[in-house]
Structure 1
C-alpha cells in the first residue's frame, strides 16, 4: 500500500506567472504579432521576465521540479537534481516544460497533454541526462566541466582572433555597387 495519493496535482503557477501567461494568451487571441510585444513577460524564457515575475517563477519551478521527481522520476536519470538552479540549461528547460504543461492542461481535449507526455517530457529527460551525464549526485553539486573552455572563448585573445578572421573575410568578399552581392562563384581557385 502506498502512503501518497494516486494523483498529485501539478503545481499551480503563482499570480504573476498566471498574469503573464494570460496577457500572452490574450495577445495571441487578438492576433497581435510577437515582435510588437517585446515588453511582455514570457515565463518560459526567464531572462525576458521582470523581477516581480522572476521572484514568483523561481519557487514555482522548484515546486514543478519536485512534482516531476515525485510523479515521473522512476529512474535516477530522470530525477532533477536539487541543484537544478545552478544549471542554466535546466533553468531554461524546466521553465519551458512547466509552461507547456500548464497550457496542455488548460486545453479542452486531452491531445495537448498527451503530446506533453509523448514529446516534451521524454525530450526534457533525454536532454537533461545527456547534458548532466552522471552529473550531480544527491547533495553534491558538480561544477560546470566546460568552464575552462568558456573562459577561453570569452578571453580577449580569442575574441580578437575571431574578430580578425571576420574582418579578413569581409575584406576578401567582393562587393558590388548594385547591391547584388559578389559576382562569380566567390571562390578563389589557385
Structure 2
C-alpha cells in the first residue's frame, strides 16, 4: 500500500520545492544600462548620437564605470545575489565556495562582475552554446584563479591583505619619486635619439569632434 506524501499545514507536499533556482535578475537601472549598451552595439546612428559619449556609458561588468550611486548600489546587490546563487547552485566542496568577504577583495569584485555578466548573457541567448561554455570554462577558470590568489587566508574569516606592506612601500613618496626619475631619464634618452638623427615616430591624432585623423611628428 503506497504511503501518502507528507504535507504542510496548507495542504501542499512539503517536498514541493524547486530543484534549481533561477539566476538573479538585474535591477531597473542596470536594465537601462544594458539597453543603452545594446543601442550602442546595434542602434541607429541617431540613437547612438543621443547616448552621448560612449566612453561614459556604465558597463556593469566593470563596476568602476557605474558612477551613479543608485546604479552602483544595484550592482552590489546583484553581485551579492549572484555569489549566493553560485555557491548554492554550482559548488559543493567547501574549498571552492566564494567567501562572504568577497567585497574586501578588489580582484574578486572585478572578476565576479565579469562572471555574473557572462552568465546573464549566456542565459539570455536562444541556444545553450554560451551557457555550456560558461559551465565548462568561465566558472572553473574563475574558481581556479580565486583559489590561487586567496589560498587559505580567508577560510576562517576575512584576513588582512598579506601584500599591504609592499603596496604601501610601492606607493610611498620615495618610491614614486624614484620611478619618476627613471621615467624622465628614459624620455630624455628617447629625445636625444631623435636629435642624433633617429627617425621620429609618427602618431595619428583623431579629432574627437569631427573624427578627422591628423598626423603629426613627435619630437
Give the match for residue 37 of structure 2. 24
- Determine whether 1:6 maps to 2:6: no
Residues 135, 4 of structure 1: alpha-carbon distance in 2 compared, 3 angstrom cutoff:
farther
Structure 1 residue runs without a partner (length 5+): 183-190
Give the match for residue 119 of structure 1. 137
Structure 2 residue runs without a partner (length 5+): 1-14, 202-219
Give the match for residue 96 of structure 1. 114
Q: Which of 172, 175, 178 in structure 2 is aligned with 1:158? A: 175
Q: Which of 177, 185, 199 in structure 2 is aligned with 1:168? A: 185
1:51-90 equivalences under 5 Å are 51-90=69-108
Q: Which of 126, 136, 139 in structure 1 is aligned with 2:154? A: 136
How many equivalent residue pairs?
Answer: 179
Shift of the alpha carbon at 1:135? 2.3
TM superposition score normalised by structure 2: 0.75
Residues 134, 4 of structure 1: alpha-carbon distance in 2 compared, 3 angstrom cutoff:
farther
Structure richer in strand, relative to its length: 2
State the SS of the aligned residue for 1:74: coil
In 2: Cα distance, 1:104 partner to 1:73 partner: 19
Residues 3, 90 of structure 1: alpha-carbon distance in 2 compared, 3 angstrom cutoff:
farther
Q: Which of 48, 51, 63 in structure 1 is aligned with 2:65? A: 48
| 8 Å contact kept, 1:46–1:95 | yes
Q: Which of 122, 147, 166 in structure 1 is aligned with 2:164? A: 147
Shift of the alpha carbon at 1:88? 0.7
Higher relative contact order (CA 8 A, sep 6+): 1
In 2: Cα distance, 1:132 partner to 1:3 partner: 38
Shift of the alpha carbon at 1:172? 2.3
Deviations 1:47-95 (A, max 9, x none): 0002221111111111100000001121223211011111111111111
In 1: Cα distance, 2:16 partner to 2:159 partner: 33
Deviations 1:32-56 (A, max 9, x none): 69x9501211000000002221111
CA RMSD of the aligned region, Å?
Answer: 2.4
Shift of the alpha carbon at 1:30? 2.5
In 2: Cα distance, 1:28 partner to 1:179 partner: 43
State which drifts further: 115-124 or 150-159: 115-124
Of structures 1 and 2, the larger Rg is shown by 2
